[in-house]
Amino acid sequence: MDLVMGAMGNLAPKLYQLLKGEYELQKDVRKKLEFLDQELESVKPALDQVAQVPWDRHHEQVKVWARQMREASYDIEDLLDTFLVRVQGSEPADQSKLKRALKKLGGLFGKAKARHDISSAIEDIKKQLQEVADRRDRCKINEIVAKPADTSAIDPRLEAMYKEVTQLIGIDKSRGELLSMLSSPQGNEVSHEKMKIVSVVGVGGLGKTTLAKAVYDELKSQFDCGAFVPVGRNPDVKKVLRDILIDLDKKEFRELKYDILDVRQLINELKDFLQSKRYFIVIDDVWETRDWKNIGLALVENDRGSIVIKTTRKSEVATGVIYQLRPLSDDDSKMLLFTRLFDSGGERPANLPAEACEKIMKKCGGVPLAIITMASMLVGKETEDWLAVCNSPGFYRGNDGQQAHDTEWILSLSYYDLPMHLKTCLLYLSVYPEDYFIPKDRLIWKWIAEGFVEMKTGTSLFQRGEEYFNQLVNRSMIQAVRDEKGSGDIFACQVHDMVLDLIRGLSYEENFVTISNDDKVTSPSGNKVRRLAHQNRVMKQLTQQEDDTGIARVRSLVACRCDIGSWVLHPSFKLLRVLALERCDCEKGWQGLKHLGDLLHLRYLGLHGINGIYELPEEIGKLKFLQILDLEWVMDIRVLPSGVCQLTQLVCLRVGFRTCAPDGLLKKVTSLEELHICIDNLNDESKRQFVKALGNLSELRVLRIYGILEGTVQSDLAQSLGNLHKLQHLSLGYDYRVPGEEWDRVVQSMFRRLPSWISPACLPSLCHLDLVVEDIDEAGLRAVGGLPQLRRLDLQATVATSGSTATVVIAGDGFFQKLRSCSFGGWMVQFVVNEDSACVSFSLWNGKQQGALAAFGSSTEDESSSRSVPPTVMPNLQHLEFQVPVRALYKDGNGSCRSLGLRCLPSLRNVSVVVDCEGASPDEVEKAEAELRHAAQLHPNSLIPRLLKVNYDEMIRHSTGQISDKSKDGDDLCEEEEEEEGVVSSAGDEVIATELGADPTSA
């Protein structure tokens, strides 16, 4: 389905199913269906021709005709789907023969009426198609359809577009100027300085947010607290104030009680919190003075040297000291363009006409967004294509003072350069609010449910959708969000507000998405609403007027950040294919889905980040077309209804670690590609049957099982996993965010040691691995290190862990070659270069086997030795997390963590260390922290470790019976950091990483 073809691509197979299937069609109905088939066949070539040409190049009459054909195709698909459901019925297939016979006898009259209704509806559509065809003939559409431009085919996935600029070109000067404006004239003496407010002003796409973020990241460590919060054009000031509170102190302000406070109360909370703090707050993208005034009321002038940066496009909104951000210089503009295009270090290739480059530079006007977008469009194109762009209509508009106007033109040009399927996928992003954090996987599954993703031989629909996503990233139409502290994978995206303006306008014009952020729902020219997006509003019941105007014909309903407390899914939404409720508020025991069983066409059901839903209706088993059921972070549903076992078309089933599987889930649900489920509710035999059935899921790519797996269940699991050759993500055990009181219960035993089936031979495609293990031995560690595609490894020790140590001698390549993120929860690590400098000993120790301590104190590392180049281990590792058992380390006086050998990890960027204080003295803890900082500083990248103390209440106390204030205060800070870090490094779903703290839908 796309903007021109509408539902055309789905109609042929459905008509074929009706005409060739074993259906008792009345003679006149069959003839009418045959007419539809023939008419659509005659229209398709003309629509294909229209689809090959940018929409803005078509004659207006062509656009009108194409829109009418598209709407007719939607109506036809709605009709065919209704026919198929009403005639086929929707009862589960495992009923007894007698029950089915009785049902058939009882439904004869109903089916006859259904066929009569269908016949009348087909007659109406036949007349509609005839009118559209007559219009096509009268206007001679075929003669005025524009011809496709004569351009060379390009591959949007060219390697050049995957390469990133290693630095922010042109930002050094502006960053230095802004830092100078913010610097203290008294050096470090800040106790009596007034608060500084600096407004960064500039046109859209100029890089205001990028500049503010760079300065914020550089300075925030000098302040007691900080926040970076976007505002946007139509902000919910209450949400903005709450986001500031959460950013300032995630530990204190993440409580849900702050949701019920009004603006006045939130301002008071902020003022109380900031009263004695030196703070640094960035308020990004402010559009209106009134919004800034409301936010400004919460800011406290306390003579502590606090800083507030505000970014805005409007000079009238600017206050305080104003920094006018200027466009890039000509040299920086060219460097950015050529680096993005050719990875040429900013040099223009000799075969590229200088004239074309100068024209493009002038058109972009030094606006980074315009330059990057232009580069994304031109990558891989020939010289004549560059010249064609320069000669295109609108290119010679004046530039003086029109950078924003020209950037919009360039974005529009880039949009029309997209292949048709990418246009459709991009426009779908308009269902999300401004500054929304869009999880990649959920977006792709929605595309699939909508029918936007075309099947490709040898590639699953999800992988094909992932290609679409990457192409949009490569063309700079969406902004990728990476897991910077983990595997480095792209896990989400955001849409620049200028791109969002573009696609919202196009979506409205083409009746693609209807956005409702108030009490009104309108579509252009009174068209039927096909996709409805509710944003930041209180959702109300469907009125009779809205039902009569066709709003109940929606195919997709997405609600983001809405109040759904009194809203109930209307039973007339019978054609709904996608239902997604994300980050919405509802009352406890919410029953808004009581009519869910009526949505017989539903393909996607997503409830994300919603508390108060205790169960799903058993009638969910009627949704035989359902492909995706996503209930992750719906924490109050403890067991899925047994009706889920009837959903034979499911390809994705995601629930949280508390939501359990119904018994017999995998007997009929055999097409899964992604499965997240808890099985602790099952008895031993049911668990065995479950893990055995896993071996039949040959398409499974992602598997996350929460629960205890013991005895024969583990061996059955091993056998099943050997059949899953496409498996990429494997997580076995409990989520590390399980509440403390439950932790002891759920991880008494997981795996005694690393299973032998975790090996390159069994799991050649494995990218992510999360396991809970008791021991790690050399054989297991070597096997895991040989997994050829592994990018993230998370090994967590069980509570019952006994003495454990493992050492692997690494010589040459082949050990964790692609690993980017590694977490050893419960183990200390060390890399020791052997005497001949030809190999490295990699050791793990959990502090409970004292004889293994020698390896962690026997080598030394100083400034002089750090200058030599050691052998490389884990060449791509960027994030490392491990634990230091302080008391065990210093027990005999010989232990040390000064010589960890981190220099063997050349790509390392982040180090997180859990400092276990149990049984240690405050002096020993301080010593360990100092040594860890020293070891990290010796790394060529001069690392600053993130130190996360645990068990500080169990440190050895002083004679006064109290822990030193310094230790306790420092630990409070570390506990907060630990909560945040633990989520990101262990969850495997970074979309949720900030949901427990900062709002993930904000950038």
DSSP 277-332: --EEEEEEEE--HHHHHHHHTT----SS--EEEEEES-GGG--SEEEEPPPPPHHH
pLDDT at 839 > cutoff 50: yes
pLDDT on residue 400 = 46
Pairing, β 840-845 against β 805-810: antiparallel
Pairing, β 751-753 against β 604-608: unpaired
Angle (nearest 5°) at CA 612 between 606 and 618:
60
Higher pLDDT, 348 or 775: 775
pLDDT at 769 > cutoff 70: yes
Higher pLDDT, 319 or 985: 319
Higher pLDDT, 190 or 784: 784
Integer angstrom CA distances of residue 181 from 190, 303, 378: 15, 17, 38
pLDDT on residue 1 = 40
- The per-residue b/e assignment along 674-697, b for 16 or more CB within 10 angstroms, e otherwise, is bbbbbbbbbeeebbbbbbebbbeb
10 Å Cβ neighbour count for 954? Answer: 14
For range 316-323, the mean pLDDT: 89
- Round to whole Å and give the CA distance between 589 and 714: 37
pLDDT at 662 > cutoff 90: yes
Integer angstrom CA distances of residue 595 from 286, 565, 592, 599, 620: 41, 16, 8, 8, 9
C-alpha count within 13 angstroms, C-beta hemisphere, residue 109: 1
pLDDT on residue 1000 = 32
Give the residues across from 198 on adjacent strands.
309, 321
What are the percentages of helix, strand and coil residues in the chain, rounded to 5?
A: 40, 15, 40
- Most confident stretch, 109-113, 799-803, 936-940, 994-998: 936-940
Which of these, 157, 152, 146, 154, lies nearest to 51 by C-alpha position?
146
pLDDT at 635 > cutoff 70: yes
- Round to whole Å and give the CA distance between 328 and 171: 9
For range 208-235, the mean pLDDT: 88
pLDDT in tens, 530-577: 899 999 888 887 665 555 556 667 889 999 989 998 898 887 788 899
Environment class of residue 548 by beta-carbon count within 10 Å: exposed (0-12), middle (13-18) or buried (19+)?
A: exposed
pLDDT on residue 5 = 61
pLDDT at 672 > cutoff 90: yes
Contact 631, 659 (CB under 8 A): yes
Q: Which residue has the tokens 């100092």?
A: 930
Higher pLDDT, 185 or 896: 896
pLDDT at 13 > cutoff 90: no
For range 581-608, the mean pLDDT: 91
For range 790-816, the mean pLDDT: 76
Higher pLDDT, 380 or 890: 890
Of the pLDDT bands very low, low, confident and very high (cuts 50, 70, 90), residue 159 is very low
For range 164-168, the mean pLDDT: 44
Of the pLDDT bands very low, low, confident and very high (cuts 50, 70, 90), residue 944 is confident
Contact 285, 232 (CB under 8 A): yes
pLDDT at 737 > cutoff 50: no
3-state secondary structure (DSSP) of residue 960: coil
Higher pLDDT, 112 or 768: 768
pLDDT at 659 > cutoff 80: yes
Contact 440, 493 (CB under 8 A): yes
Higher pLDDT, 5 or 828: 828
pLDDT in tens, 99-153: 444 344 344 445 566 566 667 777 777 777 777 676 666 655 555 555 444 332 3
pLDDT on residue 645 = 96
Higher pLDDT, 495 or 256: 495
- Please, what sign has the CA dihedral across residues 636, 641, 645, 651? negative
pLDDT at 605 > cutoff 80: yes
Of the pLDDT bands very low, low, confident and very high (cuts 50, 70, 90), residue 812 is low
- Round to whole Å and give the CA distance between 755 and 734: 17
**Lowest mean pLDDT: which of 246-260, 462-476, 762-776, 886-900?**
246-260
For range 623-649, the mean pLDDT: 93
- Most confident stretch, 43-57, 424-438, 565-579: 424-438
Angle (nearest 5°) at CA 273 between 272 and 276:
90
**Lowest mean pLDDT: which of 80-89, 408-417, 791-800, 895-904?**
80-89
pLDDT on residue 631 = 94
Higher pLDDT, 417 or 371: 371
Of the pLDDT bands very low, low, confident and very high (cuts 50, 70, 90), residue 646 is very high
Higher pLDDT, 203 or 801: 203
pLDDT at 89 > cutoff 50: no
pLDDT in tens, 357-412: 787 888 888 888 888 888 877 777 777 777 777 766 666 554 444 555 677 877 88
Q: What is the mean pLDDT of the chain?
A: 77
pLDDT at 880 > cutoff 80: yes
No. of helices (H) and no. of strands (E), the chain? 30, 28
Q: Which residue has the tokens 């059949």?
A: 723
pLDDT at 965 > cutoff 50: no
pLDDT on residue 980 = 34
DSSP 321-384: EEEEPPPPPHHHHHHHHHHHHH-STTPPPTTS-HHHHHHHHHHHTT-HHHHHHHHHHHTT--HH
pLDDT on residue 107 = 45
Of the pLDDT bands very low, low, confident and very high (cuts 50, 70, 90), residue 156 is very low
- Most confident stretch, 3-7, 656-660, 708-712, 867-871: 656-660
pLDDT in tens, 333-363: 888 888 777 765 556 666 667 777 787 888 8
- Return the percentage of the chain with pLDDT > 90, whole number: 26
3-state secondary structure (DSSP) of residue 239: helix
Contact 369, 407 (CB under 8 A): yes
10 Å Cβ neighbour count for 512? Answer: 21
Of the pLDDT bands very low, low, confident and very high (cuts 50, 70, 90), residue 304 is confident
For range 236-247, the mean pLDDT: 87
3-state secondary structure (DSSP) of residue 463: helix
Report how far apart the first and last C-alpha atoms of the chain are (Å, whole number).
31
- The per-residue b/e assignment along 557-579, b for 16 or more CB within 10 angstroms, e otherwise, is bbbbbbbbeebebbebbbbbbbb
pLDDT at 9 > cutoff 70: no
Of the pLDDT bands very low, low, confident and very high (cuts 50, 70, 90), residue 519 is low
- Most confident stretch, 531-545, 574-588, 808-822, 828-842: 574-588
pLDDT on residue 163 = 34
- Round to whole Å and give the CA distance between 411 and 472: 13
Which of these, 966, 908, 915, lies nearest to 940 by C-alpha position?
908
For range 644-666, the mean pLDDT: 94
- The per-residue b/e assignment along 142-160, b for 16 or more CB within 10 angstroms, e otherwise, is eeebbeeeeeeebebeeeb
Contact 987, 735 (CB under 8 A): yes
Of the pLDDT bands very low, low, confident and very high (cuts 50, 70, 90), residue 755 is confident
Q: Residue 49 is encoded by which pair of tokens?
A: 């021709």
Higher pLDDT, 599 or 517: 599
Residue 108, C-beta contacts closer than 8 angstroms, at least 6 positions apart? none
- Round to whole Å and give the CA distance between 770 and 733: 8
- The per-residue b/e assignment along 963-983, b for 16 or more CB within 10 angstroms, e otherwise, is bbeebeebbeebebbbbbbbb
Q: Residue 594 is encoded by which pair of tokens?
A: 């009581």
pLDDT on residue 815 = 87
pLDDT at 96 > cutoff 70: no
DSSP 244-255: HHHHH-HHHH-S
pLDDT on residue 495 = 92
For range 593-598, the mean pLDDT: 91
pLDDT on residue 787 = 92
pLDDT on residue 871 = 81
pLDDT at 588 > cutoff 90: no
Contact 425, 472 (CB under 8 A): yes
- Return the percentage of the chain with pLDDT > 70, whole number: 72
Q: Residue 723 is encoded by which pair of tokens?
A: 């059949």
- Please, what sign has the CA dihedral across residues 397, 403, 407, 410? positive
Residue 438, φ and ψ in degrees, nearest 5:
-105, 110
pLDDT on residue 257 = 54
3-state secondary structure (DSSP) of residue 537: coil
Environment class of residue 275 by beta-carbon count within 10 Å: exposed (0-12), middle (13-18) or buried (19+)?
A: exposed
pLDDT on residue 712 = 84
pLDDT at 209 > cutoff 70: yes
10 Å Cβ neighbour count for 843? Answer: 22
Residue 422, φ and ψ in degrees, nearest 5:
-70, -35
3-state secondary structure (DSSP) of residue 547: helix
- For the chain, the C-alpha Rg in angstroms (whole number) is 31
pLDDT on residue 90 = 42
To the nearest 10°, the Cα dihedral for 782, 783, 788, 793? -80
